[in-house]
Amino acid sequence: MVTTLYLIRHGETEGADKMRYKGTLDVPLSEEGVRQIEKVSRSIPVSVGLRAVYCSDLSRAMKSAGIIASPHGLKPLVIPGLRERNFGIWEGMSFDEIREKYPREFSLWMESPVEFGPLEGESTLEVKERVIKALNGIISGHNDEHIVIAAHGGPNRIILCHLLGMPLENIFRIEQDYAAINIIEFRDGYPVVKLINGGPIG
């Protein structure tokens, strides 16, 4: 039996050109983000018999999930455990602002993302605990079916590291562009990653 998971990052958000850590801030999709996810939706043909679409409880993921689910006659199932990392006092700040105000802390986090975390935010291990718990719950409910998870860059990287058996220290070696498509097959429970950071077709 093979369960196929389409792990998707939400589309571009408003203000994406500012390169800010949005984290748990509820930032909506931009018009371009909507177009990106519409392309993702067309990349998953109705013929696959999609059975469920899951998403985090942040609007950018819920909107993306809704666009993907609609052609399949589905409604997104919201799982708060899939939400993006809480970046604490860094939320809403740009990379340059963080480097300027918290140079040591930012450098430590980039060099060792498992040992260090955003100030007053979640550590990578804390995010992994809730995200993998959510993933396991989702996968256990589907046998020989096609499903979607529409989530965020951080949780997606953690899921991919986990399934590939990669150390979390290497989390930033995995890119997740806006509207990225990752495809994982669970063959009798054994994960095989078939695509990482793919682009939508159409």
* Interval 110-143: pLDDT, tens: 888 888 888 899 999 999 999 999 999 999 999 9
Nearby residues of 117 by Cβ (< 8 Å), 6 or more positions away = 88, 109, 123, 124, 126
Q: What are the backbone angles phi and psi of residue 51, rounded to the nearest 5°?
A: -100, -25
CB 115 within 8 A of CB 109: no
CA pair distance 11, 34, nearest whole angstrom:
6
Distances (CA, A) of 61 to 24, 67, 82, 191: 11, 10, 9, 24
Q: Let me know if residue 90 belongs to a domain.
A: no
Domain that holds residue 34: 2-85+123-198
Q: Let me know if residue 154 belongs to a domain.
A: yes
Q: What is the mean pLDDT of the chain?
A: 94
Nearby residues of 146 by Cβ (< 8 Å), 6 or more positions away = 3, 4, 6, 44, 48, 49, 50, 51
Q: Let me know if residue 159 belongs to a domain.
A: yes
Query: Could you report the per-residue pLDDT of 147-190, keeping only the tens digit for each?
Result: 999 999 999 999 999 999 999 989 889 999 999 999 999 999 89
Average of pLDDT values for 16-39? 91
Domains in the chain: how many in total? Answer: 1
User: What's the CATH code of the domain at 26?
Assistant: 3.40.50.1240
- The pLDDT assigned to 202 comes to 53
- The pLDDT assigned to 126 comes to 93
Q: Let me know if residue 103 belongs to a domain.
A: no
Q: Let me know if residue 130 belongs to a domain.
A: yes
Q: Let me know if residue 78 belongs to a domain.
A: yes
Q: Which amino acid is at 173?
A: R
Average of pLDDT values for 94-110? 90
Distances (CA, A) of 148 to 9, 53, 97, 116, 143: 11, 5, 35, 31, 14
Q: Let me know if residue 179 belongs to a domain.
A: yes
Q: Let me know if residue 106 belongs to a domain.
A: no
- The pLDDT assigned to 174 comes to 96
